[in-house]
Amino acid sequence: MSEEASDSESQDIQEHNETVRALSAGLLHIYEPKLREVKENLKELINKQNDLQIAMTSEKNAFSSRQIQEVNEMQRMPLIVITGLPRSGKTTRAKELEQYFSENGKGPVHIVSEADYITRSGYGVKESFTDTGKEKQIRASLKSEAMKLLTKSTLVIMDGTNYIKGYRYEIFCMSKNARTTQCTVHCAMTVEQRNARRDDIVQNSSSGELDAETFDALCQRYEEPQDTSRWDRPLFTVYGGEEMDLARINTVLYEQAPLPPNLATQNMPLSSTNFLFELDKTTQTIIDQIAAARKIGLDGPVEIPQAGMRAEVPDNMSVAQLNRHRRQFLNYVKMHTNVLKTKAYKDKVSRIKMQMHQIHQRTKNLRAKALEIQELKVNQCATKLQQLHYEESLVANSKRTPRKS
C-alpha cells in the first residue's frame, strides 16, 4: 500500500514537472519573438545613436579647429604708438616701456624705430621730412614692419614722429584687423622746451641732419593726438621730465578687450573654390526661369524645378531689378561666408541633438517595454507555479486523508 502511494506521489511530481516545463515553453514561445524584436530595435537605436554621436564629435572637432585658429589669431600682443616732435624724448620713452614690460614678463618687446629706418635708407633726417616721396616710403616701411611683428607672443612699440592723424588712423585700422589692443603715447613739449630744442638744433646742426627750418615746418604740420579721436584712444600725454603711468598703460593694454574689426578692416573670408561660382550660376538660372515665365505671360508664382518650390515674384518687378538683388545677395554672401558656415554648423548640431534626444526617448521606451514584458512573463510563471503547487498540495492532502469505511 505504501509502495503504491509512493509511486503515485512520484508520478504526480513528474506530471507536475512536465506541466511546469510545458508552461515555461509555452510562455517562451509566446513572448520570445516580442523580446527578440524589442532587443533588435534597441540594438538598432543604440547603433544609430552611436553613429550620430560620432558624426557630432567629428563636426565639433572640425569646427573647434577653426575656432582655435580664430582664437589664436585674436590672442595677439598689444601695440604702442609713440608720437611727438623730434628731440621730444620718444626713444627714451620707448626704452623705458621696453624695460618695464620685459621685467614684468610681457616680452619679447620689439621697437620699430623711425630713426633706424632713416639711417638704413641713407636719406638723412632732413631729406626724410622734406621729400614727400621718401617720407611716404619710410612710413610704409614702418607700418609694414609693425604689421609683420604683430603676433601673439610679441609687444610692438612704434617709435616715430607719427605726426599725421591719417597715418595714425591707418595704424588703428591695422590693430583692429589684428584684433589687438593699442594705446598712444604723446611725447609733448611746452613752449619753453620747444624753443630750447630749436636753439640746440641751430647750434649743433650739420649737413643732412635736422635744421631749424625743417623743425619749424614739422611744428606747423604736426597734428597732435586728441583723446576725442577713437584712433588715438587711450591717449597718454607725457611732458619732458614727467614720469609715465606705466601701471595704467599695462592695464589698458592687457586687461581690456580689443575692438572688433569692421568689415572694412577685415580680410575676405575664405570659402570653397567653386562655391561662389555655383551660387552665381544657380541664381542666374532662377532669374532666367522667372524671365521666361513672364515672357510667355504666366502670372503669379513661378515653379523652380531644381529647388522643388515656387517663387513668389511681384508682377511689377523687372529682370533688371532681379539682377540687382542677385548681385546684392552675392556680395553679402562673399562678406559673410564664415557667419553662414557657423550658422549652418549650429543648425546641424541642433538637428543632431534633436535626433539623439528622440532616439534616447525611444530607447528608454523600448527598455521599459522589454522590462514590462519580462516582468509580466515572470509574474505569469509565478502565478501558474503557485496554482500548480496549490493543486499538488490538494492532491497530497486528499491522499493522506483516510477513507471512511
pLDDT tens digits along 362-386: 777 777 777 777 777 667 776 766 6
**Is residue 100 domain-shared with residue 177, that is, in the same domain?**
yes
Tell me: pLDDT of 243 over 70: yes
- State the average pLDDT over residues 38-60: 68
pLDDT at 210: 82
**Is residue 287 domain-shared with residue 239, that is, in the same domain?**
no
C-alpha cell at 30: 509566446
Q: Is residue 260 part of a domain?
A: no
Q: Is residue 210 part of a domain?
A: yes
Which sign does the torsion angle of CA 392, 394, 400, 402 carry?
Answer: negative
**Is residue 103 domain-shared with residue 233, that is, in the same domain?**
yes
pLDDT tens track for 98-113: 999 988 888 789 999 9
pLDDT at 72: 47
pLDDT at 238: 92
pLDDT at 399: 59
Tell me: pLDDT of 71 over 50: no
CA distance 364 to 370: 10
Domain total for the chain?
2
Tell me: pLDDT of 405 over 50: no
Q: Is residue 244 part of a domain?
A: yes
**pTM of the model as a whole:** 0.51
Residues 6+ apart with CB under 8 A from 126: 208, 209, 210, 211, 214
* Domain enclosing residue 308, as ranges: 274-372
**Is residue 237 domain-shared with residue 128, that is, in the same domain?**
yes
pLDDT tens track for 281-293: 888 888 888 888 8
**Is residue 168 domain-shared with residue 279, that is, in the same domain?**
no
**Is residue 98 domain-shared with residue 242, that is, in the same domain?**
yes
**Is residue 150 domain-shared with residue 96, that is, in the same domain?**
yes
Tell me: pLDDT of 299 over 80: no
Average pLDDT, rounded, for the chain: 77
Q: Is residue 26 part of a domain?
A: no
Q: Using an 8 Å Cβ cutoff, are 186 and 84 in contact?
A: yes
Give pairs for 262-269: CB < 8 Å, separation 24+.
Answer: 262/176, 263/335, 264/173, 265/173, 265/174, 265/176, 265/177, 266/177, 267/177, 268/334, 268/335, 269/334, 269/335, 269/336, 269/337, 269/338
Residues 6+ apart with CB under 8 A from 257: 181
Whole-Å CA distances, 81 to 248, 253, 332: 15, 12, 35
**Is residue 99 domain-shared with residue 244, that is, in the same domain?**
yes
311: which DSSP letter? E
Q: Is residue 7 part of a domain?
A: no
pLDDT tens track for 303-338: 887 777 788 888 788 888 888 888 888 887 777 665
Q: Is residue 299 part of a domain?
A: yes
Q: Is residue 162 part of a domain?
A: yes
Whole-Å CA distances, 264 to 27, 98, 257: 76, 32, 20
Tell me: pLDDT of 345 over 70: no
**Is residue 213 domain-shared with residue 174, that is, in the same domain?**
yes
C-alpha cell at 269: 573670408
**Is residue 138 domain-shared with residue 283, that is, in the same domain?**
no
Q: Is residue 52 part of a domain?
A: no
Domain of 139, CATH number, reads 3.40.50.300
**Is residue 248 domain-shared with residue 347, that is, in the same domain?**
no
pLDDT band, residue 237 (cuts 50/70/90): very high
**Is residue 106 domain-shared with residue 235, that is, in the same domain?**
yes
